[in-house]
C-alpha cells in the first residue's frame, strides 16, 4: 500500500541519526572552514543579530557566525556532532556567543516566537523528509521576527546525483548510506511564500559547494519574514 510505504520511508529517513553520528565520529578536515553560503549570509546581517542554525553538524558555520559577532543558537540531533562543536569551542577560544540545542527541527519549540533575527538551514532540508522540512520551515516562520531573514541552501533536483541509489519516496534516494531528498526550487519558493515570507533571491546553480568530485547543483533561498502574520 502506498500509504504504509510512505510511513516506512519517513521512519527510515528519520533514523539517519546513526549515520550522522558515525559521520561526525570521523575527522573531516575539509569540513572545518565555513561554507561559502555562511560567508555570504553573514555579510547580509548586522553584528549582534540573533541567528538560529538548524542542523549545524560540526559547527563550521555556527562557529564562524559567532566569531563574526552574531549571537548564535546552533541545533542538531546528533550528540556526536554537538560534542565536536563543544570541543572546537574549547580548542579555539574566542569571545563566543554560541549556544547549542540538541534537537531535531521537528521538535523545536516556540520559545523564540517572533524574536529571531535569522534562521539558517544549510544542507539540512535535503537530509529530511518533505514533511519534516515543512515542520522546520513553519517553525522558522513563527520564530522569526517580522523582517527576520531565512537562509536555505540544499541540493536541487537538477544535480547529477539525482536518481542514484535506492528510491526512497518522491525525489528521495538512499545514497552514500543515507537519505537524500532533492529539492524542487519552485516548490520550495512557493512553500516559503505560503507561510509568510518574501523571497528576496533564489539561486539554482552548481559550483557553489564543490567537495571532492561532487559539484552539486544547489538551491539557495534568501527570504524575509513578512510583517503581516499569516493565520
Ligand X SMILES: C[S@@+](CC[C@H](N)C(=O)[O-])C[C@H]1O[C@@H](n2cnc3c(N)ncnc32)[C@H](O)[C@@H]1O
Grid cell for residue 77 = 540531533
Give the nearest distance from C-beta 16 to ligand X in angstroms: 6
Residues whose CB falls within 8 Å of the CB of residue 22, separated by 6 or more in sequence, listed in order:
80
Residue whose CB is less far from ligand X, 7 or 230: 7
Residue whose CB is less far from ligand X, 181 or 225: 181
Please list every residue from 37 through 96 that binds ligand X, using CB under 6 A: 54-57, 60-61, 76-78, 81
Which stretch, 2-10, 126-134, 164-172, 188-196, contacts ligand X (CB under 6 A)?
126-134
Residue whose CB is less far from ligand X, 82 or 192: 82
Among 132, 152, 192, 221, binds ligand X (CB under 6 A): 132
Give me the sign of the Cα torsion angle 165, 210, 184, 110. positive
Q: Is 122 in the site for ligand X (CB under 6 A)?
A: yes
Residue whose CB is less far from ligand X, 71 or 104: 104
Rounded Cα distance between 21 and 231, Å, is 38
Strands in 178-181's sheet, in edge-to-edge order, are 166-167, 172-175, 178-181
Residue whose CB is less far from ligand X, 56 or 223: 56
Helix axes 130-143, 185-194, angle to 10 degrees: 40
Q: Look at phi and psi of residue 104 and say left if phi exceeds 0, alpha if psi is from -120 to 50, else beta.
A: beta
Q: Of 154, 72, 140, whose CA–CA distance to 105 is shortest?
A: 140
Residue whose CB is less far from ligand X, 30 or 201: 30
Give the nearest distance from C-beta 200 to ligand X in angstroms: 21
Q: Is 124 in the site for ligand X (CB under 6 A)?
A: yes
- Which 8-state DSSP code applies to residue 182? P
The count of chain residues that interact with ligand X, using the rule CB under 6 A, is 23
- Is residue 199 classed exposed, middle or buried when 0-12, 13-18 and 19+ CB atoms within 10 A define those classes? middle
Residue whose CB is less far from ligand X, 108 or 195: 108
Which stretch, 1-9, 65-73, 94-102, 117-125, contacts ligand X (CB under 6 A)?
117-125
Query: How many degrees, rounded to 5, is the angle at CA 169 between CA 164 and CA 173?
Result: 25
Q: Is 220 in the site for ligand X (CB under 6 A)?
A: no
Q: Is 219 in the site for ligand X (CB under 6 A)?
A: no
Residues lying near ligand X in the complex (CB under 6 A) = 16, 20, 31, 35, 54-57, 60-61, 76-78, 81, 104-106, 122-124, 127-128, 132
Amino acid at each position: 500500500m502506498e500509504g504504509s510505504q510512505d510511513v516506512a520511508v519517513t521512519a527510515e529517513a528519520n533514523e539517519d541519526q546513526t549515520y550522522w553520528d558515525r559521520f561526525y565520529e570521523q575527522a573531516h578536515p575539509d569540513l572545518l572552514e565555513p561554507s561559502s553560503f555562511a560567508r555570504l549570509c553573514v555579510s547580509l546581517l548586522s553584528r549582534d543579530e540573533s541567528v538560529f542554525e538548524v542542523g549545524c553538524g560540526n559547527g563550521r558555520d555556527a562557529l564562524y557566525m559567532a566569531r563574526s559577532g552574531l549571537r548564535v543558537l546552533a541545533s542538531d540531533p546528533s550528540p556526536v556532532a554537538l560534542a565536536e562543536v563543544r570541543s572546537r569551542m574549547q580548542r579555539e577560544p574566542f569571545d563566543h556567543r554560541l549556544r547549542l540545542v540538541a534537537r531535531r527541527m521537528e521538535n523545536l519549540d516556540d520559545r523564540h516566537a517572533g524574536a529571531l533575527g535569522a534562521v539558517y538551514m544549510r544542507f539540512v532540508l535535503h537530509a529530511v523528509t518533505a514533511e519534516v522540512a515543512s515542520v522546520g520551515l513553519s517553525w522558522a516562520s513563527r520564530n522569526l521576527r517580522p523582517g527576520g531573514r531565512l537562509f536555505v541552501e540544499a541540493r536541487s533536483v537538477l544535480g547529477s546525483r539525482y536518481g542514484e541509489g535506492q528510491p526512497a519516496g518522491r525525489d528521495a534516494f538512499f545514497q552514500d548510506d543515507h537519505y537524500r531528498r532533492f529539492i524542487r526550487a519552485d516548490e520550495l519558493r512557493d512553500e516559503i511564500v505560503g507561510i509568510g515570507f518574501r523571497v528576496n533571491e533564489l539561486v539554482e546553480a552548481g559550483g557553489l559547494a564543490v567537495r571532492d568530485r561532487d559539484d552539486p547543483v544547489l538551491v539557495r533561498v534568501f527570504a524575509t519574514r513578512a510583517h503581516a502574520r499569516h493565520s
